[in-house]
Amino acid sequence: MEIGSATIALAALGQATRLSVFRLLVEAGPEGRMAGEIAEALSLPGATLSFHLKELSAAGLIRGEPLGRFIRYSADFRRMAELIGFLTRNCCGGQVLAVCGPAPRKPARRAAKRAGT
């Protein structure tokens, strides 16, 4: 993924309603959800939802599949993985991502103190 594509995707996700729609579709998995189900789950008017779905589609983060008069939307997991990969590329100088995380906690030494050592 190039910086231009990442910027477009991040801008689309940088709005609360669109982020909620995207998270709902990620949660739904590859089967996705019908537009009406999304609107109901997030209490969104149809026109508002349509605007946000258009923005997410333009950013390549979701896909719509026509099913008769209805459209089923699903997250584009390949595109999501590309965005995550772009954001974490060269993390900590290219080391394994786990190295970049917080240091593991040291076990408490309470038991030794209680035993008088």
The conformation of residue 91, written as its DSSP 8-state character, comes to G
Question: What are the structure tokens assigned to 105, written together?
Answer: 């906690």
Q: Looking at the domain 3-100, which fold is it?
A: Arc Repressor Mutant, subunit A (1.10.10)
Return the ∠ at Cα 82 (arms to 16 and 55), rounded to 5°. Answer: 35
Of the pLDDT bands very low, low, confident and very high (cuts 50, 70, 90), residue 52 is very high
Q: Which residues contact 31 (CB under 8 A, 6 or more apart)?
A: 72, 74
Query: pLDDT for 56-90, tens place per residue?
Result: 999 999 999 999 999 999 999 999 999 999 998 87
- Alpha helices (runs of H) in the chain, residue ranges in sequence order: 3-13, 16-28, 35-42, 46-58, 77-88, 97-100, 110-114
